[in-house]
Structure 1
Amino acid sequence: MNTNRHTVLVVEDEALIRFAVADALEDAGYQVLEAASVLEAVGQLGLNEDIDLVVTDVDMPGALNGLDLARMISECAPHIGVIVSSGRGRDDMTDLPQTVRCLPKPCTAAMMLSMVADMLKRRALVGDESFRRIA
């Protein structure tokens, strides 16, 4: 169980997937916030300064997708880790910032939790500034 109570924002437009991811994260001890679109995610990021990590799907309703969100976070709030999850091939994710991690769909809860824990651990070990360079 995670005793640091890191906060993870889950961005997924499919409610059942969002709930399943949020439940898995909560069961692992994380505090979880949810958003069903990029615009909702931006609102959550503006309201909650304690978000440590964002897990986002690529395909979203509206003009912005999860790749756009990952780029925005990397530019405007590089201290926040980002995991992009997609069933697409990695070809459209090649221009993402180096700190963004890609999680292929389908994946197990264990795979997702492992990647979340790894990103948060690296950030804690090397500090926010170094995390941006090596994550």
Structure 2
Amino acid sequence: MGSVAAARPVVLIVEDEFLLRMDAADIIQTAGFDVVEAANADEAIEILEARYDITVVFTDIQMPGSMDGLKLARAVRGRWPPIKIIATSGFRVGEADLPEGGRFLLKPYSPAQITGALRELTIGG
């Protein structure tokens, strides 16, 4: 391996349940992505304002705080249009509720579902 590693896409995971966030981080890192974590939408916005390398936001929909995942997805699309969005919930949500190009994964999701959606959005996007 050379001294200059190729930049790996960075995924921001927004999930208020610590164990689910850890699990998603493990899956996403194993799939070859770098991970940044936020416990709620407010934290996510702070991270997005501070960093310019986020490729995908992977967010839970039901979260405490000033915004749920759907509001966060719309805010991200409005302010950072190139960032891809994957939303997840134990309740089914139509893709029509997400910004254009957003993906929805029903919980419980499998590692293959997360990996597949990330690869589609980052390689095929």
TM-score in terms of structure 2 length:
0.90
Kept in 2, the 8 Å contact 1:74–1:99? The answer is no
1:111 Cα deviation from its structure 2 partner: 0.8
Q: Structure 1 residue 82 and structure 2 residue 81: aligned?
A: no
Q: Structure 1 residue 15 and structure 2 residue 18: aligned?
A: yes
User: Which secondary structure state, in structure 1, belongs to the residue aligned with residue 85 of structure 2?
Assistant: strand
Q: Percent identity?
A: 38
User: Which secondary structure state, in structure 2, belongs to the residue aligned with residue 13 of structure 1?
Assistant: coil
User: Which secondary structure state, in structure 1, belongs to the residue aligned with residue 105 of structure 2?
Assistant: strand
1:19 Cα deviation from its structure 2 partner: 0.3
Which of these residues, 122, 125, 129, is aligned with residue 124 of structure 2?
122
Q: Structure 1 residue 55 and structure 2 residue 21: aligned?
A: no
Q: CA RMSD in A?
A: 1.3
Note the alpha carbon deviations across 1:6-46, whole angstroms, 9 max, x for none.
00000000000000000111122211000000000001101
TM-score in terms of structure 1 length:
0.83
Note the alpha carbon deviations across 1:80-121, whole angstroms, 9 max, x for none.
000000111225x63322221111111101111110111001
User: Which secondary structure state, in structure 2, belongs to the residue aligned with residue 39 of structure 1?
Assistant: helix
Query: After TM superposition, what 4+ stretches of structure 1 lie above 3 angstroms from structure 2?
Result: none
**Match in the other structure for 2:114:** 112
Q: Which amino acid aligns with 1:42?
A: I
**Match in the other structure for 1:65:** 68
